[in-house]
Structure 1
Amino acid sequence: MRNLTVDPEIAAIIGEQRAAELEAGPYPVDYRCVRCHRGGRVNDGEALAAGLDVTPGRMRLWFVHTACGPAEVVVFDQRQPYPEETEATGVLYAGNSRDGLPWACVVIELTMSVELLDDPAEVGVDQVLGVALARGMRPTADPLTPPEPDGPISWRVQLPRPGRHGGGVYGRNRLQLISPLPPMPPGWLDLVAVRDGRCGLYVVSRLGLLAVLDDLGTALTDAARAGRLVGTTAAVIR
């Protein structure tokens, strides 16, 4: 059972909605305590609290075992040298779109160790999605109807090549979203063929992807309604 608490002082900074999402889950799925450095699954039930470092134009959300020490707001006058690491989790799935024909799709959840804010008033902005939006993806309401790009297709899903590499998802200028490619369900490539070698490509934030696989469609639809799902059409390369 999830046992994560967000202090009202921290909730006032990150927003009541974001605080409620953290407490309810399923995102984040994993954590690492900043005091003892032991990690685990948030839903395992160990008592956790969320803390916050605030620097000019930047916030870092962190977690701590309540037995290891207090969670608090720490304010710095200057930016701290946090590593801005991005982790990716992906799933391949398929289903029928609004036109009645099936789409093979890929969804990738990106999580960042540091939240970058252009303005302290824009706490609710999903900076993770900015990477995808800046490269042609668009907000979407349907996880089975990917938007068509305004110009040529710039994203590609590289299939695994035996003895060479495990495939992945790539954009222009060698931008890599995920590698290797997540496991491919049976029939996925057949649906790619129906769409002339294309698939739907989505990026989602703050979902807890691996914790919602039993009802992925509903979870992605809810994320889309909350403005946390963007997508496009990608080329599938053998």
Structure 2
Amino acid sequence: MPDRWTIAFDADDTLWHNERFFRSTQSRFVELLRDHAGEDHLRERLLAAERRNLGRYGFGVKGFVLSMIETAIEVSAARVPASAIGEIMEMGREMLAHPIELLPGVERAVQALAGEARLMLVTKGDLLDQERKLAQSGLGEMFEAVEIVSDKTAPVYAAIFARHGIIPDQAVMVGNSLKSDVIPVLEAGGWGVHVPFETTWELEQAEAPLAHPRFRQLDNLAGLPAMVAQIGL
């Protein structure tokens, strides 16, 4: 190959478990507020608060906790007890301390590709939390660059490519979110590899660009080395 390829990975629910902690915390939140609203209504109001607050708080645990507090105040007509707010904050602290569990095939795939291409981590969320998870994952030394961004859009990926001297059509982005990890990368000129996770946050759902020539899909990361070899690495 005339130039070195770059393979970038998303972090949460691509390399390690994450959404399961949000789902379990949401269930605890619903139980905590069950005297004020029904489950479906609570989940709808919380999702609406998350969508409304993304521009203010960004992605990650802290914004999720603030959205839960906001929802609790709204559905209780400002009568939610301070003890319940304290419990919500404790849920957030537990989420920020949960241990890292790599997804199947991740470590082997990353190790196999580390000597063949420049590896990057491109993720969004709380800066300190993402740094903690990367440090605990045991994968940190395999990545030549780490980008923790507030959002993933085509201009953001284009800026990352430019900043690191990456030729877009020799860049592969791997992730579980079509909306964040695939579609904007394709728009920026790179390759998008979708590795679906068991659950997807409602605000990350999108239609798969099946007809796009630089779109690929895998069941899990175990097949990634063979796939990138097929596209020319």
Quick check: TM above 0.5? no
The alignment's TM-score, normalised by the length of structure 2, stands at 0.25
The alignment's TM-score, normalised by the length of structure 1, stands at 0.25
Bigger fraction of residues in strand:
1
Bigger fraction of residues in helix:
2
